[in-house]
Chain A
Amino acid sequence: MPTLEIRDLFVALAATPDKPIVKGLNLTIRTGEVHAIMGPNGTGKSTLSKAIAGHPDYVITSGDVLLGGKSILEMEADERARAGLFLAFQYPSEIPGVSIANFLRAAVQARLAEGEEIDATAYYKRLYSKMDLLKIDRKFTSRSVNEGFSGGEKKRCEILQMAMLEPTFSLMDETDSGLDIDALRIVAEGVNLMRGEKLGVLLITHYQRLLDYIVPDFVHVMYDGRIVKSGDKTLALELEAKGYDWVKQELALSASAAVATA
């Protein structure tokens, strides 16, 4: 079963490589699993996901990321994507003049073997069925990618792309933020349908509410560039009730305990 392994990962901005944002993060995700990461603002969640996807703003100063046992760090962002990695962006980019239909078509085409041509009829059939599933108006196919979309529409469009590209591992960065209650349910249902032996998910979220719909197998708390606590879905409930101060206090306690035993 394929895995996505993050090993003792340090990530910094390319401009300031000596100031790590992600500081020694370890996490292994298997297909079939859904992991949720929660953590305060600015703790490095988006940095982690973008660095894994190969964003040029970030450098990995040490550690490794392995997809199916092979390091992906030498691969270009597009190679990583074609190898099965998908990132649902917290802030998706707008691409003026490029319609969703054409964009996704190019993305699907990019995954075909050289010389192989996309079957246009089959493609549109599939696109429409996914759109229907996510309750996205078919008129959206001719709209430019994300241009003028509402926050919620952008997030739904990310899930549509994920559904069309069928990744092995999907990093979903705050896909729930900006969604209204109905949209949240629709998006969650969409993800749940994709869930299964062929997909591993890393779900970054601030809200327990999403985890009511997409029930995670594991919940991790990220703080100051590291995972400081892991548990099952009940951890999210506990966090919701007690807030991050509780985690910080626990951290302080274990730190002083460590000092005491030293």
Chain B
Amino acid sequence: MQPPTDTLAPPDLNFDSEVGDSASTVENPTVGIDQSVGDFTYDVKYAFDAGSGLNEGVIRYISDVKKEASWILDFRLKAYQTFLEKPMPTHWATKDLENIDFNKIRYYLSQGQKPKRTWDEVPDDIKRTFERLGIPEQERKFLAGVEAQFDSEAAYSNVKDIVAKQGVIFCNSTEALREHPEIFRKWFGKVIPTGDNKFSALNSAVFSGGSFIYVPKGVKVAMPLQAYFRINAENFGQFERTLIIADEGAEVTYMEGCTAPKFSTSTLHSAVVELVALKGAKIQYITVQNWAPNVFNLVTKRAIAMEDAEVKWIDCNIGSRLTMKYPGVILKGKRARGEVISIALANDGQHQDTGAKMIHAADDTTSVIVAKSISVGQGRSTYRGVVHIPKHLKGCKNNTECDALLINTNSRTDTYPAIVVRGDTHAVQHEASVSKVSEDMIFYMQQRGLTEAQAMSLAVNGFVNDLVRQFPMEYSVELKRLIDLEMEGSVG
């Protein structure tokens, strides 16, 4: 392992220099979406509750409950200062961000449970929650190999025997930093520095939960590791922290699925996910999320890929009031390869502001971005991308494809691709398209007996089909079900 430099991210990694839509007014009320998935909550007694609002006391409290080493507390306190100093990125992003009231958010909740070893030890109410989430019976058994987060702590964490035997470490952030600092500290907060943006700073101050994974040299994890995240308490911000390190030649796939209960007031979800693919390693990170329509989902995801390493983000965003997420890959080593496959569905009252960042920092590196967005009704999709290839490099390639599908005339879609390529030995390709689901197409399908909602759902599924094929089976089924539910709700 080579020691990481302090700041891996070049300064232009943010969209600060771009012209955004700050001038446009915000009309993004959370309206009329009957979202039956995740619309439930159970009475859970919280053993630890930091109250609402944020100050140093809350941070000390969190750190104390977690019995953290002092360097972590220092890290948190510094991050809190950075959070306070950083402005809201409303000069390029939506003004809707101003509607987040940081004083009304609860920053830490936990049932105070130790991660469970076996399924039998998992409390019944949590099992019921999984049931309502529609995790199939089979998969529930398969949960033996699952890290499932319930609120901010892992309610259930059991690395399946095979994985453990391979030397894989798979646990939550608290446990990882306490038990394996020699492995995780080196990279923690290095791919995404605290000050990357206001929300990465917030996460760095109050993070809890999430998954930390280390895959040793040459180990190929055959089954995907997965975690389900959800928000269970009103006004409760979830700030999970994930760090995955694949050592040289290692391979791992991680799957993250989210559903959240529906609440009347805004909920903030702000995760930080860092991936480290060392020489020749392969990491695939898959997200299918379906947030309730009142959730602000402001997530920073970035990977670093060393020589001959490959990182692939498959990111699917459904639901939420506002999602801002631009998974990135810093292509640090020669011949490294980064890929972002992104699907975003913005229904009425929702804004999906998504994209990708590809930072080429070595010769012969390749990046691929395929982003597909669907805007329904008043829903709004924005694509923002950064592709950065500096002058001194040779033989870099980028391929960017953004396709937007509009369902009904009110839908809005914008693209802000920023492709900065200097030097003349690079191959860069950019394609964008906007298409509409026409009335004739819907009628054609209805004439074959499908309801309007089924027809729209099929059209949307068709639009994303080539990307969905890259998902593992159970996720593509889940995604199809989520699209069906969204389309049902959108037909008047």
Contacts and interface: CB of A to CB of B under 8 A. Distances in A.
Contact of A95 (B441, B446, B447, B451): B441
Contact of A165 (B448, B452, B463): B448
A98 B454 CA distance: 13
B449 A96 contact: no
Contact of A110 (B449, B461, B464): B449
B466 interface: yes
A82 interface: yes
A68 B208 CA distance: 65
Nearest to B439: A56
B445 interface: yes
Nearest to A83: B449
Contacts of B440: 93
A96 B460 CA distance: 9
A94 B441 CA distance: 7
A95 B447 CA distance: 14
Given A77-B447, A78-B446, A97 B452 contact: no
Contacts of A81: 446-449
Interface in B226-280: none
B440 to A, nearest CB: 5
B465 interface: yes
B465 A98 contact: yes
A86 to B, nearest CB: 8
Contacts of A111: 449
B165 to A, nearest CB: 38
B441 A107 contact: no
Nearest to A161: B448
Interface in A89-128: 89, 92-98, 102-104, 106-107, 110-111
A204 to B, nearest CB: 15
B450 interface: yes
Nearest to B462: A97
B444 A144 contact: no
Contacts of A97: 461-466
A57 B444 contact: no
B459 interface: yes
Given A77-B447, A97-B466, A110 B458 contact: no
Interface in A43-80: 53-57, 76-78
Which of B443, B459, B461, B464 has the most CB atoms of chain A within a 10 A radius of its CB? B443
Contact of B444 (A56, A95, A104, A165): A95
A38 interface: no
B449 A92 contact: no
Nearest to A91: B440
B438 interface: yes
Given A93-B438, A93-B441, A110 B450 contact: yes
Given A97-B464, A110-B454, A77 B446 contact: yes
Contacts of A188: none
B458 A76 contact: no
B462 A95 contact: yes
A87 interface: yes
B443 A98 contact: no
Contact of A107 (B448, B459, B464): B448
Contact of A78 (B451, B462, B463): B451
Interface of A: 53-57, 76-78, 81-82, 86-87, 89, 92-98, 102-104, 106-107, 110-111, 144, 161, 165
10 smallest CB-CB distances across A and B, nearest first, come from: A97-B462, A97-B465, A98-B462, A93-B444, A77-B446, A107-B448, A78-B446, A110-B449, A81-B449, A93-B441
28 contacts: A54-B443, A56-B443, A57-B439, A76-B451, A76-B452, A77-B447, A81-B447, A81-B448, A82-B449, A95-B441, A95-B444, A95-B445, A96-B462, A97-B461, A97-B462, A97-B465, A97-B466, A98-B458, A98-B459, A98-B465, A103-B448, A103-B458, A106-B450, A106-B458, A107-B449, A107-B450, A110-B451, A111-B449
Given A86-B447, A93-B438, A102-B458, 13 more contacts: A77-B446, A78-B446, A82-B449, A89-B444, A92-B444, A94-B441, A96-B435, A97-B463, A104-B448, A107-B448, A107-B449, A107-B450, A110-B450
